[in-house]
């Protein structure tokens, strides 16, 4: 009953804002394929999320900085090639949890959008945008880069970019609820967040949709659909595989597929779902990537899988 009520309210709320053109969506019921398993990043902690620079064809993974406390907000961003070889890294001090980062192509450079100004919880209260530079450290105690608080309702949040459809996406918290908002990418680059195409509250996967877990582990957008990844590590779930993916229509708020169990990397040690992102290959194949952390404490590894069937 609660889910029905929530989605009736969502549909009413988003209809007036619905401005995203139709697009195909990923079929979440299809198999997942390996990009890699058990790769090292510049950090030995749990992978938190990852992102792609679509134009420059780069891949970035964010972890908690080695040796830092969970609530410190200290992060390490690693650049890896598509075979999993480490190419470089930079550190962020007191910035956030790393739930999501976004990569923006600027000529041959990559600019990262991440959380900053971590609260006591370890989550960032603002966003900032900076050029990825190997070996550099950014500290939230410094005035630069400029802080970005998109609007008054933004209490904390993260970003992703749908580079294929040129959209900028925020997942943000307001009054304890998680929301999704979509903007034209050019507007976001100009720090103009006054013209949301979509802006509505997200459901809780377990409480509202009958899924297995409410633990949010990643999100991404492709066209008119948002994809959510939820679940826990085997350590937290008592060995139960509870990772699920869900697709929602951004124009209506309707669930179009899921919550659907994903068994990608089911034999991994520890196996915590960590991150979703979309990448289009040079041959034009769109891929929905799912990330998982594996390994033992002090030696966590990155694992990336993808689905490639559009319907």
Instruction: Say whether pLDDT at 182 is over 80.
Output: yes
Tell me the β-bridge partners of 60.
51, 79
Residue 274 token pair: 């960590």
The architecture (CATH level 2) of 2-307 comes to 5 Propeller (2.115)
Name the band, by pLDDT with cuts 50, 70 and 90, for residue 218: very high
Nearest to 278 by CA among 233, 203, 223: 223
- CA–CA separation, 285 and 200 (whole Å): 30
* Contacting residues for 171 by C-beta, under 8 A, at least 6 apart: 99, 100, 157, 158, 159, 160, 178, 179, 180, 202, 219
Any idea what DSSP says for residue 310?
B
Q: Are 60 and 77 in contact (CB under 8 A)?
A: yes
pLDDT tens-digit readout, 103-115: 999 999 999 999 9
* Contacting residues for 142 by C-beta, under 8 A, at least 6 apart: none
pLDDT tens-digit readout, 251-275: 999 999 999 999 999 999 999 999 9
pLDDT at 14: 52
Instruction: Say whether pLDDT at 12 is over 80.
Output: no
- How large is the average pLDDT for residues 240-261? 98
- How large is the average pLDDT for residues 282-311? 98
- CA–CA separation, 207 and 128 (whole Å): 32
- How large is the average pLDDT for residues 130-138? 98
Instruction: Say whether pLDDT at 289 is over 50.
Output: yes
User: E strands within 1-149?
Assistant: 33-39, 47-53, 58-64, 75-80, 86-93, 102-106, 109-118, 124-131, 137-139
Name the band, by pLDDT with cuts 50, 70 and 90, for residue 2: very low
pLDDT at 203: 98
The total number of residues written for the chain in this structure: 311
Name the band, by pLDDT with cuts 50, 70 and 90, for residue 178: very high
| Mean pLDDT of all residues belonging to the chain | 94
pLDDT at 13: 52
């Amino acid at each position: 009953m609660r889910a029905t009520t929530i989605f009736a309210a969502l549909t009413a709320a988003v209809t007036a804002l619905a401005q995203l053109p139709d697009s195909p969506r990923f079929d979440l019921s299809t198999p997942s394929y390996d990009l890699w398993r058990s790769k090292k990043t510049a950090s030995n902690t749990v992978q938190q999320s990852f992102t792609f620079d679509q134009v420059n064809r780069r891949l970035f993974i964010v972890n908690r900085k080695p040796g830092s406390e969970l609530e410190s907000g200290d992060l390490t961003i690693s650049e890896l090639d598509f075979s999993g070889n480490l190419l470089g890294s930079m550190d962020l001090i007191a910035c956030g949890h790393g739930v999501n980062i976004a990569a923006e192509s600027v000529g041959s450079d990559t600019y990262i959008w991440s959380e900053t100004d971590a609260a006591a919880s370890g989550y960032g209260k603002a966003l900032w945008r900076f050029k990825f530079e190997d070996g550099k450290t950014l500290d939230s105690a410094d005035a630069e880069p400029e802080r970005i608080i998109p609007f008054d309702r933004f209490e904390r949040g993260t970003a992703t970019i749908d580079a294929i459809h040129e959209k900028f996406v925020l997942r943000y918290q307001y009054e304890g609820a998680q929301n999704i908002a979509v903007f034209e990418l050019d507007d976001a680059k100009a720090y103009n967040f006054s013209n949301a195409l979509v802006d509505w509250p997200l459901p809780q996967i377990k409480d509202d949709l009958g899924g297995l877990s409410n633990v949010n582990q990643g999100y991404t957008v492709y066209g008119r659909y948002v994809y959510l990844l939820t679940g826990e590590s085997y350590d937290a779930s008592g060995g139960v595989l509870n990772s699920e993916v869900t697709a929602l229509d951004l124009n209506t708020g309707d669930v179009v597929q899921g919550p659907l169990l994903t068994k990608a990397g089911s034999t991994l040690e520890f196996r915590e779902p960590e991150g979703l992102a979309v990448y289009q290959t040079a041959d034009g194949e769109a891929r929905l990537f799912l990330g998982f952390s594996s390994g033992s404490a002090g030696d966590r590894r990155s694992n990336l899988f993808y689905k490639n069937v559009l319907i």
